[in-house]
Amino acid sequence: MSYMLPHLGSGWAVDQAIVTEEEKVVIIRWGHDWSPECMAQDEILARIADKVSKFAVIYVVDISEVPEFTVMYELVDSCTIMFFYRNRHILVDVSSGNNNKINFLIEDEDDLISIIEAVYVAATQGKGLAVSPIDYSTRYRY
């Protein structure tokens, strides 16, 4: 489903997407287009793209094609979502321990929309950290 979302194919394109967007949150899904986890996340992102289009724009970056950001953003997971607003990286506290990015699959569309809304509200208020309304600390229960 990644073909339904705009791809950024170079480091320059990624920089331009982050720098030039003034009013919306820029959401970038980093990963490999062939990864099953990325395919599942892309499908969910494609389904919510119209619902969040007034305050967010979603892009996909294949890190095998654009390796420039792999070290800078520590992109070691198979699928990672990051948020930017007015050329600023917005951290997200989802109670997973990593506030820089979301590095797990979010399967529920409403949960993902809620997180994006929280990021937008925090970013427009000038905050660098958005607190997710959903707690993912107990996501994996054994």
The pTM of the full predicted model, rounded to 2 decimals, is: 0.91
- Domain 2-89+103-108 sits in CATH at 3.40.30.10
Question: What pLDDT is attached to residue 86?
Answer: 94
Percent of the chain with pLDDT over 70: 94
Please write the tens of the pLDDT for every residue from 17-41. 999 999 999 999 999 999 999 999 9
In contact, 69 and 109? CB cutoff 8 Å: no
> What number of H helices and E strands is found in the chain?
3, 5
Question: What pLDDT is attached to residue 4?
Answer: 85
Question: What pLDDT is attached to residue 60?
Answer: 96
Q: What residues in the chain have per-residue pLDDT under 70? A: 1-3, 139-142
Domain ranges in the chain are 2-89+103-108
Helix, strand, coil share (%) of the chain residues, nearest 5? 30, 20, 45
